[in-house]
Amino acid sequence: MSNLLVAENIVKNYGDYTALNNVTIEVPEASIFGLLGPNGAGKTSLIRIINQIIMPDSGSVILDGKPLVPDDIKHIGYMPEERGLYKGMKVGEQALYLAQLKGMTRYDAKKKLSFWFDKLEIRDWWGKKVQELSKGMAQKVQFIVTVLHQPKLLIFDEPFSGFDPINANLIKDEILKLRDDGATVIFSTHRMESVEELCEYIALFDKSYNILDGKLSDIKREFKTNTFEIEMYDIKNKFLLNELSENFDILSSSAGPRDNEASLQVKIKGAKDSNDLIQYLAMHGSIAKYSEMIPDANEIFIKAIEKNAVNE
C-alpha cells in the first residue's frame, strides 16, 4: 500500500526550544493513523507543519507523491484541538464562509452543507448564532466544515473532547465511513481507548522524538510479554503447579471455588512456546480459558516513554 503522506526528517525549533527533532512519519493511504504522545511531545507542531501553518526548519513533507505546496490545503481537512467559531455569526453563513476559504464555490458548498446538516440532524440551526449553541452542538458544526470539501487527508486533533458519548460515537462512525470511502485520517490524541478502536497505524512521540511507530498490531506483538491467562477445571494432577513451574514462570495462581479448579498467569521461558504450554495443560485437566495477555495501547505508551526516559 502506498503512503499518502510522508514527513521526512522534520526539525522545528522555537528559539532554544526544540519541538521536533528529526522526525519521520509515513501515513499509508486510506488508513487511520494515530499520532500519540504526552503533552508537549511535538504532535501539534507536526500537524501545523503538515497544514502549512508553520514552516519546518528542515525536512520535507510529501503529499500524494509530490512535495507539499500552498494549494494543497484544499486536499486537507483540519480540526484543531483549540477550535471554535465566530460567536456572533450565524451557523450557516459561517459554514459557507469557511467552506469557501477552503476553495469551494458557494453553490457547491451550499449543496454539500445541506446534505451534512440533514445527516447530522442539525438543519434547524442554520439561522442560529453560534453563541446560542451548546459546546457539543458547535463541535458538530466544526466537524462538518472540516470534512465538507472531501479532503484526501483529514487531521483531527483530540476530536472527541467536548462531545458527549453519544455524539462521540456518531463522529467516530463518520470518521470510519470517511476512511472506508478512501480518506486518510491522522488522529492525534493522548486518550488511548480511542486509539485501540480506530487506529491501524500509530506513531508515538515523546520530547520531540518519534520513539515508536508502525502498524498497531505489529507493535503489540513486539510488546507482548509471552504471558498467558489460564482458567482450568477438572484438574487431575495435584502437582500441576509444581510440575508447571519447572518449565514455566507462574506469575500468579489462585484456586477456584472447588478444589480442582484454578486460574493462573503463566509466562513462557526458555525454549518452550505457547503450544508446549497448552499441550501440557490439556493433559492434566480441562481448559476453560486460555488467552495471551496482549498489552493495550496505554501500557505500550507508558512502557515506551519509560524506556525513552531511561535511554536519555
The total number of residues shown for the chain amounts to 312
- Residues between 138 and 197 that touch other proteins (CB under 8 A): 142, 145
**Angle (deg, nearest 10), helices 91-101 and 106-119:** 130
At 198, give phi and psi (nearest 5°). -110, -40
CB of 298 to other proteins, least distance (A): 28
CB of 157 to other proteins, least distance (A): 9
| Residue 147 vs 240, nearer CB to other proteins | 147
Does 71 sit near other proteins (CB under 8 A)?
no
- Residues between 85 and 124 that touch other proteins (CB under 8 A): 85-89, 97-98, 100-102
> 244, 250 in Cβ contact below 8 A?
yes
Candidates 70-78, 159-167, 174-182, 285-293; binding stretch for other proteins (CB under 8 A): 70-78
Distance between CA atoms of 271 and 72, rounded to whole angstroms?
54
**Angle (deg, nearest 10), helices 91-101 and 135-147:** 30
DSSP 8-state class, residue 42: S
> 171, 154 in Cβ contact below 8 A?
no
| Residue 142 vs 228, nearer CB to other proteins | 142
Candidates 68-76, 109-117, 250-258, 278-286; binding stretch for other proteins (CB under 8 A): 68-76
H helices of the chain, in order, are 43-50, 91-101, 106-119, 135-147, 165-180, 192-198, 216-222, 240-247, 274-284, 297-311
| Residue 102 vs 198, nearer CB to other proteins | 102
Count of residues binding other proteins (CB under 8 A)? 28
The single residue among 4, 5, 48, 235 that binds other proteins, judged by CB under 8 A, is 48
Query: Binding residues for other proteins, per CB under 8 A?
Result: 14-15, 48, 51-54, 70, 73, 76, 78-80, 82-89, 97-98, 100-102, 142, 145
